[in-house]
Amino acid sequence: MKRIGMLTSGGDCQALNAAMRGVVKTLVNDKQKVEIYGFLDGYKGLIYGNFRMLTGNDFSGILTKGGTILGSSRTPFKTIQDPDENGLDKVEAMKQNYHKLQLDCLVILGGNGTHKTANLLRQEGLNVVTLPKTIDNDLWGTDMTFGFQSAVNVATDAIDCIHTTAASHGRVFIVEVMGHKVGWLTLNAGMAGGADIILIPEIPYDIDKVIEKIEEREKNGSRFTIVAVAEGAISKEDAALSKKDYKKKLASKKYPSVSYEIADRILQKTGREVRVTVPGHTQRGGSPCPYDRVFASRLGAEAGKLILDGQYGFMVGYKNREIVKVPLEDVAGKLKMVSPDASIVKEAKLLGICFGD
């Protein structure tokens, strides 16, 4: 008998259900007797013992379903070792619930913060296998995360739709794409959607360079400009600030987001009409695209195999078009950033895309 705990932590995304289904189908198809304990709302469920027994029926028909059947929540790693408001030791509580249910393994689906906590539980002696979930594609140790391609599709659709109205009115349009620290989503959606300017956190922008590109397009006969902006994009002036001063600026709430600040600066400097569109959480909503359904299923199957083989302490990742196992200690606490010298950035510049640098 295998007793498996499962939880999904952090922001939701497409293909979480597909990945869990892949794990369970692999275990069941091996003719193993399996008990699945689904912890509700991420690590909170493991901390407070909120779970429900899952059967094969729970995993039927969820391949195409977005979100997560277990619910999710954010439990920041930086406070995971602090007692809760009632003095409960959260790490000890998770360990006790694991042992109380006599679990053989925890399957944890999540992003960067989730993997930090997963690695902590591994260090505390629990058997853990993880799966890389995030629309940001910023997890170290894997070329791809599930949810990313689906989010790229949604963000690209938003940019596609903006093209017609931008062309009709001859305006500058800014489309704000998710991504606080890393720009993979904005970069890919921007290129796929034919954006003229792409601003990402890893390449601080000069507003004068952005305006220069807009004016260049106008001189060449283009009536409009599409700017794809990551929500964490930062100007060169702000990048030069101390972390404390930058946080102070953000706290002033002068603008709803960086896109509105960019729009205002373009207006003030040029008088051009600028519109901002924010697709927001639609980028992680809806059904997973076919790529993510296949990819998440493959990752889930390999996670199931690791459990059957008794190999724990790994994230199932994707490297050089092959599914691989990556030690959790190599993943936790690292972000996969977009290098300004990355080939995809150089190629985008060859296409005439401006990054504001």
Distance, in Å, from the CA atom of 303 to the CA atom of 227, rounded to the nearest integer, reads 39
Supply 63's token pair.
Answer: 């391949």
Q: Which of 12, 41, 58, 136 is catalytic?
A: 136
Q: Residue 228 in 3-state DSSP?
A: strand
CB 150 within 8 A of CB 178: no
Distance, in Å, from the CA atom of 109 to the CA atom of 8, rounded to the nearest integer, reads 5
The secondary structure of 28-82 as a DSSP string is HHTT--EEEEEETTTHHHHHHT-EEEE-GGGGTT-TT--S-TT------GGGTTS
Q: Which residues of 217-242 are buried (b: 16+ CB within 10 A; e: fewer)?
A: bbeeeeebbbbbbbbbbbbeebeeee
Distance, in Å, from the CA atom of 131 to the CA atom of 172, rounded to the nearest integer, reads 40
Q: Is 208 assigned a catalytic role?
A: no
Q: Residue 349 in 3-state DSSP?
A: helix
Supply 15's token pair.
Answer: 């293909």
Q: Token pair 């705990």 is at which residue?
A: 5
Residues carrying an active site annotation: 136
